[in-house]
Amino acid sequence: MAQSGPHEDPEVLTHAMMIAAMNQILGECGYPPVPEDVPRDDSAADRVIEDARRRADGIVAAAFSTAVQYTDAALDQAARTVLSSRRALSGPQSTPYPVDLAPMPVATGARGTVGETWLAAATAAGVYLPVAEPVAAQTLDVYARCLHEAATAIPPDYDTAYRVGVEVVALGIGRHEALPATMSVVLDHLSEGEVLRVPARQVAGAFAAGFAAAMQARTLAQQESLHRATQRAAHDFQVALQHSEARYRRLAYFDPVTGLASKTRLVQRLRQSANGDDPQRHAGLCLIEIGAYPAICEQFGAEAGDHVLGEVARRLRLAATHPDYLLARHGSHTFTVFVQDSGGLVHLADLAERIAGVLAEPTSLPDTGLTAPLQAHVGAVDAATGDLEPARVLVDAEIALRQARSGTSGWAVYDARPAGTGPRATAGVAGLVTGPPTYQPVVRLGTGRVAGLHTRMTWRHPHLGTLDLTRIGQLTGDRDTTTRLAAGLLQQACRQAMEWDGATKGPFVGLDVPVHQIGYPDVVEVVHDALTTSGLAPGRLHLHLSGLDAVPAGEHSLTVLTALAELGVRIVLDDFGTGFTSLAYLRDLPVHGLRTPAALLRTGASGADSDRELLAGMARTAHALGLTLTVHGIDDQPAAATLRGTGCDGAQGLHYGVPATPHQVPALLRARAVPLRANGLVAS
């Protein structure tokens, strides 16, 4: 199986890109990079992501710590500012100032206004006002006049002084170093010479309180802004990390072309199933190969190949819809369907058959107007989760896939349980228990009488469940076993028919025989021996083939059917109207009748006319080819009513009689018509 080169594997590039992006983020945050040679297995990837998460948490924690330290320092500075104002009001203290005082402006010969002096003191303290100096000096002069008026008012206007302190901070004098110089100017302005009266002192205190409150509110606002910025940065970082992680996992665990899981994800699920607690549980795997993909890519290019892969993925999603199923792209043109809880080989056989069916239809090629067959083959394997080995399961699936390539059904199942040293398929059906045969009447619609009996025999397998002859041949691929079981079934059916009625015109007996699985000349010899041993007239034996799809075109198939027809038996093709039936091919085959399922009648009572027209057209087609048409699966009165006037020759179903045991058949044959059923028998 072709494998992609190291430079063609999208997972390698994606992994490297992810590591590079992660190292860039960590480098910007001042953290050492992660190693670039991390293996691509699941545990290594998880370790890298976990390490990135741990470093991200450290970055966020450091940001929060910085914000708290900044806030604490700002609040401490505000507290120092309040203490400084109080000391300035209460006079000189023996203890040093808790903060560095700004130098007072150098006195000049010309005495300016209070606003100019105030502005000079604030500027010396490092304050920058966002207005022109004349405007700032005039504004401060207004504030000084307001403070003087508040101190001389009766009673003193403390609210005005408080608001002036707030307005001074709003103007821009918000540095704590400027408060001592500001208070010195204010106290000089409010004093009368060397005397500072009580009202003036109280007004100055109100001004200092407003200044400190405004400083504290400003600090808290800065703290809140910083906290929100830190939270926003942390959230953005976490979101970016989650998106990066999701993108990494998406590219690592999913195929970018089909959207299905990748082989890495498949192996991960297999390992998880191997670690299950219940040893009785089974898991299954279907390996699907699209044989036409390399040729399509070679002739029409990679874009057409990607279109085919997308179409295969779409059909697989339709065929495997259970939530326990994992659809994955295994290789360049192989897919897998992993079944978490398998019901055994029969379950997987049904799934493989369904997948082969949905992939049997050709797919269109874009911009060409052409269609191409997918040439799909399916290999299925079932394994107990107690001893499941992912590598072994994939190898067994490859073996089953090779068997599917050599078969005719398009799929095969690998059975890992057979014992002994003989052929695997023969041992795989060891322990079969034969079930009792059943016979269901086939009536002639013109007279209502029983024209024949359709028999069905099943076998019970300890691991595979209930199997019919066709399924045994599909599961084992062993012609000897299928031939031996078919010979026993034919001998029993022919002998039973002679016991009911030995006449030449007696009712026929029809049975399903996988002719294409037995092959020529074995099937001819088996049928000849059954007729000779029982003495049954060849015309009373009807061999049902599972539709034209089960009869490969070619000279060999024509030889087999011709040899059977020369024995005098009648060959009936089942499931006519379904699959890819070719009328031209049908015309060339030596067949005598057709059977179609009642499942074609999908409409309700309001659509009975369209159902009737469909059956009438099929009957005319069959009669034009010299064949009879029988509808099976007629289980109720509305379906039976649809058959009236269609020209169909026969009908079979629960409406005409339930499957009966060999001892109940004589009652069916004695009845002139079969409109009623009682106790499993048809009443006259």
* Tens digits of residue pLDDT in 87-138: 544 444 433 334 343 444 444 444 578 888 888 888 887 787 878 888 888 8
Identify the pLDDT of residue 277.
66
What is the residue type of 379?
Answer: G
**Tokens read off for 551:** 């009869």
* pLDDT surpassing 50 at residue 139: yes
CA atoms within 13 A on the CB side of 299: 11
Question: Is residue 201 pLDDT above 70, yes or no?
Answer: yes
Specify the range with the lowest mean pLDDT, choosing from 241-250, 484-493, 569-578. 241-250
Give CA torsion, residues 35, 40, 46, 47, to 10 deg.
-30
* Percent of the chain predicted with pLDDT > 90: 13
Lowest model confidence (mean pLDDT) among 133-147, 305-319, 447-461, 551-565: 551-565
Q: What is the mean pLDDT of the chain?
A: 77
CA 646 to chain centre: 47
Q: Which segment, 4-8, 66-70, 167-171, 403-407, is predicted with the most confidence on average?
A: 167-171
pLDDT classification of 289: cutoffs 50, 70, 90: very high
Give pLDDT, residue 133.
Answer: 86
List Cβ<8 Å contacts ≥24 apart for 584-588. Answer: 585/548, 585/553, 586/548, 586/625, 587/625, 588/558
**pLDDT tier at 581, thresholds 50, 70, 90:** low
What pLDDT is stored for residue 244 in this prediction? 76
Cβ within 8 Å of residue 439, ≥6 positions away: 453, 454, 455, 509, 659, 660, 661, 662, 665, 668
User: Amino acid letter at 181?
Assistant: A
Number of other CB atoms surrounding residue 112 within 10 Å: 13
CA-atom Rg of the chain in angstroms: 47
Biggest alpha carbon–alpha carbon distance for the chain: 149
| Segment of 38-42, 150-154, 440-444 carrying the highest mean pLDDT | 440-444
| Beta-strand relationship, 370-372 and 376-384 | unpaired
- Which residues are within 8 A (CB) of 272 and not within 5 positions of it... i.e. 6 or more apart? none
Predicted structure pTM score:
0.45
pLDDT of residue 223: 82
Query: Which tokens belong to 631?
Result: 């509808």
Q: Which amino acid is at 618?
A: M
Give the per-residue pLDDT at 129: 81
Phi and psi at residue 277, to the nearest 5°: -85, -25
Does 62 have pLDDT greater than 90?
no
pLDDT at residue 230 tops 70: yes
Residue 195: DSSP 8-state: B
The pLDDT-based confidence of 195 (bands split at 50, 70, 90) is confident
Q: What is the pLDDT of residue 306?
A: 92
Rounded to 10 degrees, what is the CA torsion of 306, 311, 312, 316? Answer: 140
Phi-psi region of 202 (alpha: psi -120 to 50; beta: other; left: phi over 0): alpha
Report which residue type is found at 448. Answer: G
Residues 6+ apart with CB under 8 A from 573: 544, 545, 547, 548, 551, 586, 589, 591, 593, 594, 595
User: If you average pLDDT over residues 652-678, what whole number do you get?
Assistant: 73
Find tokens 């109720």 and name the residue.
636
> Per the structure block, which two tokens stand in for 476?
């084992």
Instruction: Identify the pLDDT of residue 681.
Output: 35
pLDDT at 413: 83
Average pLDDT over residues 636-658: 88
* Element containing residue 495 per DSSP (H, E): helix 479-500
Which of 528, 560, 552 has its CA nearest to residue 541?
A: 528
Per-residue pLDDT at 60: 59
The whole-number pLDDT of residue 313 equals: 93
Give residue-wise pLDDT tens across range 407-423.
Answer: 777 888 886 544 333 33
Beta-carbon contacts of 306 under 8 Å, excluding residues fewer than 6 positions away, are 257
DSSP per position, 210-271: HHHHHHHHHHHHHHHHHHHHHHHHHHHHHHHHHHHHHHHHHHHHB-TTT-SB-HHHHHHHHH
Answer with the residue of higher pLDDT: 539 or 343. 539
First to last CA, the chain: 65
pLDDT at 308: 92
Distance CA 296, CA 316 (A): 20
* Dihedral sign (CA 293, 295, 301, 302): positive
pLDDT in the model for residue 317: 92
Q: What pLDDT score does 224 carry?
A: 85
Least confident segment among 131-140, 154-163, 243-252, 655-664: 243-252
Summarize pLDDT for 358-368 with one digit per residue, the tens.
998 899 998 88
> Best-predicted range by mean pLDDT among 44-48, 416-420, 551-555?
44-48
Of 292 and 5, which is predicted with more confidence?
292
pLDDT higher at 286 or 44: 286
pLDDT tens for 505-517 read 889 999 988 777 6
Neighbours of 183 (CB within 10 A): 22
Pairing relationship of beta strands 508-512 and 650-652 according to DSSP bridges:
unpaired
**Alpha-carbon gap, residue 136 to 138, rounded angstroms:** 5
Tokens of 499: 């016991």
Residue 467 reports pLDDT greater than 60: yes
In this predicted model, which residue has the larger pLDDT, 96 or 40? 40
Taking only the tens place, the pLDDT of each residue in 424-453 is: 333 345 557 777 788 999 999 888 888 899
CB 461 within 8 A of CB 467: yes
CA 410 to chain centre: 26
Comparing 11-25, 411-425, 646-660, the range with the smallest average pLDDT is 411-425
Q: What is the pLDDT of residue 264?
A: 86
